[in-house]
Chain A
Amino acid sequence: MLMPMANETIIFPFVRVVGQDKMKKGLLLNIVDPGIGGVLIKGEKGTAKSTSVRSLAQVLPPRLSVVGCPYHCDPRFPKRMCADCREKLASDAIVAEEVPTSVVELPLSATEDRVSGTLDLEHVLKTGEKKFEPGVLAQANGNILYVDEVNLLDDHIIDLLLDSAAMGVNYIEREGVSFSHPAKFVLVGSMNPEEGSLRPQLLDRFGLCVDVEGEKDVSVRMEVIRRRMQFDADPEGYLASCQGETDSLRKKIEEARALLPKVVLSDKILHDIVHVCIHFKMEGHRADITMMRASKANAALEGRTEVTKEDLRTVAPLVLGHRLKKRAFEEVTFDMKELDICLGI
């Protein structure tokens, strides 16, 4: 795989982030199956949220993309291609190339037209003809879209993001432009709960949610500092020193993706999922479906073709935690013991 280019800032290696297993799990599950619906990372500042997400690019397997397509259509899935590429496909004019999967960041200050795309001003002025200027959602297609401090984003932009993420399509009907293009991406949001929360309806639309905490153990904290110092002293060298681990994680992801369609889910497990969701009073079906997908992805990630109760145990807190019914201002935490009883473990 390609190394980051020299003029790019080098990011602390993903494989060397200490602890934070739940967060890593949430991210990896989504990479294996982007249909899980993204992940929201909640935690205080300085808990490696942003670092982990940004460095994710290092372990992402490369993907195929149509050359010259602004939406990076994947030639293997004609149904999810933009109208342009479909036309080309019909006349067999498609050329594909392998490109790295990237982490696209949405700045907080992004305006709506930059997010969804808009009329190309320059083109209109020069030629008098209309042309669509792709925005961040176009860039995000097939990639990971990262929104830091998602709770501070304007409501209407969050609505827009979640709509596209759910539908896999970005519809634009504005400024004289009527257009739609594929926008299938993994939405990763991070937030510091001290700075306000998200509407519960928005929470529900994130497939997974993890709470991250700073490490409390002294020796672990020492290790964090030690690694950071080594990295700061020689970023390139440090990155190279763990290249092997990075490569093997990437390989693991690729294998898991290949394995995913073969993973089966027994009727027993299906019942368990529904039982758990009913027990925890999940409204609607998003929790059920997400749990099903996440447990399959987890099995694939561990190289198995059958989903077990252990998979459910792993993913349940990520799926259910943020969907628990809260009464007024209660603090609710997910209870593993309750889950175990529910699963009959």
Chain B
Amino acid sequence: MPGHMMVPHYPFPAVYGMEQAKKALMCAMANPKIKTVLIKGASGTGKTLVARSLGEVSGKSIVNVPLNVTDEQLFGCLDLESAIKEGKIELQEGLLQRADGNILYMDDVNLFEQRMINGVIEAVLSGRVKIERENISTTYDVDTVLIATMNVHDSYLSPVILDHFDICVDADYPEDEAGRTEILRRSLAFDEDPDTFASEYADEERAIAEKIGKAKEIAEGAVVSESIARTIASVSGKMGIDGTRGDLSTANVAVALAALDGRSEVSDVDLEEAAVMCLSHRRKVVRGRRVDRMEKVVHSSVGFNTESRAIFKAVHPARDAKHGADSDPDGETPENSDPAAVADDSHVFRGKESEDIITKIGETFETIDLFEQEGAAKARGASSTKGKRVLKKTTTRSGRYVGSRFTEERNPDLAFDATVRAAAPYQIKRHKEKDTGMAVIIEKPDMREKIRETRSSSTFLFAVDTSGSLIIRNRMVAVKGAILSLLKQHYVKKDRVGFMTFNESAIQMLMQPSREVETIYRLLDDLAIGKRTPLSAALQYLSDYMSMYIKKRPDDDCYVVLVTDGGANICLDPDDTVTDPIEEALGIARRMNIPGVKWIVIDSEKKFDAVHHAKDLADALRATYYTLDDLKVVTYEEMNLVRTAKQRIQK
């Protein structure tokens, strides 16, 4: 089959801005011990551009891993033609093999299936690919570097995968007018005449290539001194980073940075820079008060006086006042490494909100992703992948074809390529036994069916108690705020969301679960309020509804988010005055058992109120329990603070 296309080449030095990303890439080229680089950024910031431009300056070719790659193609599989024609079992080279000595490139790495990412990273880091499939059992060596990009707004990577990236940098694109104009000008010039444009940067490109070449020689002989190693260990210790991967990466990157500067001796500045590139993505889940304070930690460990702390104080006086006692002001105590403790801290007071937050419907906070929370909860017990966005094997015939397996089904979702490969080695023998006139004789045991995977979608059904008790305490505003922030998140992530309310006059399914999440905005503004709470009836209704729903969408993760104070006061039979409505509701809750449906109870009472009926309800439902106050996390302001601190360091 004919080969591959050429893609026009944008010169590496012509990429404007992106200094951190460029530096990271050059480090990876200069020190072969750096195996994996991740570039994160919003869409349209030039992540792909900078990664692809690396080919020319590194003298390596870039092997692209398309989003719809299959296992076989990635790792290598049986060579079909030689098997059928000559009966020989040979390995057809996979993408990884082609990347040997070159650069392996994965665009939008977070959209790949987790299994695939794991496989690639494992192979790249170990330098070895092991194949056990289709009569082939072999291993081969691969010496390559993985460059990956991801869009920060588009789902996420699990911490385990993140940890396997030596370097993770942000696509720090220029936001000033001059910078953007220059980018536009260059893009205009490149469009008009790519060749002339490239030739203008040829000298610079050559200079960079030479610099990398020299750095490579220096880095080869460089040794990390004892004291540097100790500093690294103490920095990562203070940041509460598990494992030693980060330490090693930091050391390697520091060596590369020094080498690029023509030195074999690692300086404090190198170390600082390396730590920012290698450690920031490895910190434990950032929750509540835990904002990115890594620069400060780095600074204080390397013996720098830290200004960022001063800025921090100036912006968050209130926070410090409250937490002065338990968080050491100098950052000299190890960061709290228990994610649980961090999560529990999430109700802290947070200074003033930026003004444009929609006050009308309560504060819209960045909220905890319910899934992440659950993941963190699980991680406390045993390590496990996060519940969400993990791709799910589907039983229907839709989704991405990712691999194949043996099948005995009558009418399978046939993976043709795999089937033919399975049959291939026997062709010569079978043709001798019987001649059917077919080129390929396929028998039942050869049949392979497709393994397909889809990103699992989730359904959130919000069931909101709109009884008077909520109004009296003016908690409805907070409820709306919390729901909206939750929805905002799930809207981005393309889940299905439904909305139902209940009070004495009606149990209303205002919106069937759908992707049209924005409708809820209107619904929330115009809620009918009743006085009393028919909790039992509402639970009964939810039970019936969800049992039906789960049958229609068996692949979905379903969550019922019950927002209530748990104060039931109407029984199933409204005229029944004997039964205690709360007890009745709890009884129904205890009997509730719909496989595939998980419950989340959000308590609309204030956290420090005396009575918590909702907590009992949550226990009865075996639900995850939150109070409204739990659902507020890091604000934008704090995020921005981190950003400015980072920029300062680069300067």
Contacts and interface: CB of A to CB of B under 8 A. Distances in A.
Interface stretch (A39-47, A195-203, A225-233): A195-203
A35 interface: yes
A51 B281 CA distance: 49
A204 B43 contact: yes
A287 B45 CA distance: 10
A83 B3 contact: yes
Given A174-B73, A175-B73, A287-B44, A154 B398 contact: yes
Interface in A251-294: 261, 265, 270-271, 273-275, 277-278, 283-289, 292-293
A75 B181 CA distance: 35
Contacts of B416: 119, 121, 124, 175
Given A124-B440, A274-B177, A176 B8 contact: no
A277 B68 contact: no
Interface stretch (B207-215, B265-273, B511-519): B511-519
Contact of A285 (B1, B4, B46, B427): B46
B184 A289 contact: yes
A178 B128 CA distance: 21
Given A112-B401, A278-B180, A286-B44, A175 B5 contact: no
Contacts of B46: 284-285
A169 interface: yes
Contacts of B517: 329
B184 A292 contact: yes
Given A285-B173, A329-B520, A181 B440 contact: no
A99 to B, nearest CB: 21
B2 A87 contact: yes
B180 A288 contact: yes
A173 B66 contact: yes
Interface string A143-163: 000000000001110011001
Contact of B5 (A169, A174, A328): A169
Interface string B168-199: 00000101010011011101100110000000
B85 interface: yes
B532 interface: no
A248 interface: no
A131 interface: yes
A327 B358 contact: yes
B556 interface: no
Contacts of A265: 188
B131 interface: no
B485 A285 contact: no
B93 to A, nearest CB: 9
A246 interface: no
Nearest to A176: B417
Interface centre among B64, B184, B492, by most A CB within 10 Å? B184
B151 interface: yes
A131 B1 contact: yes
Contact of A283 (B43, B417, B491): B43
Contacts of A124: 80, 416, 420, 439-440
Given A199-B154, A199-B494, A200-B492, A180 B5 contact: yes
Contact of A289 (B84, B95, B187, B421): B187
Interface string B449-489: 00000110000000000000000000000000000110110
A175 B183 contact: no
Interface string A125-150: 11111111000000000000000000
A328 B484 CA distance: 7
Contact of A277 (B8, B66, B180, B487): B180
Interface in B138-182: 151, 153-154, 173, 175, 177, 180-181
Contacts of A328: 358, 364, 484-485, 487-488, 521
B440 A274 contact: no
Nearest to B516: A196
Contacts of B6: 79
Contact of B7 (A35, A112, A167, A286): A167
B43 A286 contact: yes
A292 B185 CA distance: 10
Contact of B81 (A129, A274, A327, A329): A129
A92 to B, nearest CB: 18
Nearest to B187: A289
A180 B1 CA distance: 11
B184 A270 contact: yes
A8 interface: no
B77 interface: yes
B82 to A, nearest CB: 10
A181 B80 contact: no
Nearest to A203: B43
Given A154-B398, A265-B188, A288-B180, A283 B44 contact: yes
Interface centre among B5, B7, B398, B488, by most A CB within 10 Å? B5
B180 A274 contact: yes
A261 B192 contact: yes
Contacts of B641: none
Interface string A188-200: 0000001111011
B356 interface: yes
Interface string B352-393: 000011100000100000000000000000000000000000
Nearest to B93: A178
B44 to A, nearest CB: 3
Contacts of B95: 173, 178
A198 to B, nearest CB: 9
A273 B427 CA distance: 64
A113 B520 CA distance: 37
B484 A270 contact: no
A285 B192 CA distance: 18
B525 to A, nearest CB: 10
Nearest to A172: B66
A84 interface: yes
A176 B107 contact: no
A292 B80 contact: no
A259 B276 CA distance: 49
Given A195-B516, A199-B492, A171 B184 contact: no
Contact of B68 (A160, A273, A292): A160
A285 B80 contact: no
B551 to A, nearest CB: 22
B70 A175 contact: yes
Contact of B153 (A172, A197, A200, A285): A200
A204 B43 CA distance: 7
Across the A-B interface, the 7 shortest Cβ-Cβ residue pairs: A284-B44, A286-B44, A329-B521, A175-B417, A196-B515, A83-B2, A171-B66
25 contacts: A35-B191, A119-B417, A131-B1, A156-B454, A168-B7, A173-B73, A175-B70, A178-B1, A180-B4, A181-B5, A197-B516, A199-B154, A204-B43, A273-B184, A275-B177, A284-B44, A284-B46, A285-B173, A285-B180, A286-B44, A288-B183, A288-B184, A289-B184, A292-B188, A327-B357
Given A124-B416, A176-B92, A289-B184, 13 more contacts: A79-B6, A79-B8, A83-B4, A128-B440, A156-B400, A177-B1, A178-B4, A201-B151, A204-B43, A274-B181, A283-B42, A285-B180, A285-B183
